[in-house]
Amino acid sequence: MTGFAVYESPFGPVRMDYEGEVLVRLRTVEPTQDRGTPTPLTHEAFRQLQEYFAGERREFSLPYALHGTEFQKKVWAALAAIPYGQTRSYRAIAATVGSPRAVRAVGAANGKNPLWIILPCHRVVGADGSLTGYAGGLEMKKRLLELEKTSLERNGESG
């Protein structure tokens, strides 16, 4: 069974697409009356997102399936490995996936990340540390990075 469910988040409506018992896409959407068909999976995903937004969760434990090229899947795996509260440059991700000259391709794969926040593409920044490109907009990227930094500081940790 494929379907979707829409939940309200601090960043506006979030749509979760699923295939059977796995998430396949998570993204912000325009406000809508159509809430789709929530399932135990989408309820759990939203619960974990709420914990993340509250600074109480650093990693997600959800079943998901990625549909993309092998290169995209390598980039998305590299995103998942970026620790909470830290950032990596597009160049560093390119080196991690074994294609050090593929910085633009990493950017393109990052832009097609189907699981916003779960695969933390907001933690990827320009070589000089600047905030560059984010599907949810630079303001959202900035807020997510600040949320993680504040959470770490509150717990006496550094990123």
* Residues labelled as active-site residues: 121
User: Per this entry, what is the length of the chain?
Assistant: 159
Residue type, 56: E
Pairing of strands 22-28, 2-9: unpaired
CA-based nearest residue to 28, from 118, 116, 108: 116
What b/e readout covers 103-141, taking b as 16+ CB neighbours within 10 angstroms? bebbbebbeebbbbbbbbbbbbbeeeeeebbbbbeeebb
